[in-house]
Amino acid sequence: MNRPVILISALVVFGIAAATVILGWNLILTLPTMQQRGGGGPWYVTWAMVWITALCAVALGGFLIASTARKK
């Protein structure tokens, strides 16, 4: 692949990371609401999965950007 395609792919991956966190904020209920419903534990697990997904996407984007710096 050429460098512009890799950089565009990295930007898309960073966008996916941002979208994951934004969707989490909009779709996951707040902790007090979940505690009233008896679901405090699953709330933490859900947010852990959201942040792990976002961090993996950032790591992948960083790897893609770093791969363009290698000399041929």
pLDDT at 69: 85
Residue 54 domain flag = yes
> Which residue range(s) make up the domain with 17?
3-67
pLDDT tens digits, the chain, 72 residues: what are they? Answer: 688 999 999 999 999 999 999 999 999 999 999 989 888 889 999 999 999 999 999 999 999 999 998 766
How many domains are contained in the chain?
1
pLDDT at 38: 83
**Residue 67, both tokens:** 């791969």
Residue 18 domain flag = yes
Count of beta carbons in the 10 Å neighbourhood of residue 13: 20
Residue 72 domain flag = no
Q: How far apart are the first and last CA of the chain?
A: 13
Residue 38 domain flag = yes
CA distance 49 to 58: 14
Q: Of 60, 57, 45, 67, which is closest to residue 20 (Cα–Cα)?
A: 57
The answer to whether 11 touches 65, Cβ cutoff 8 Å, is no
pLDDT at 71: 67
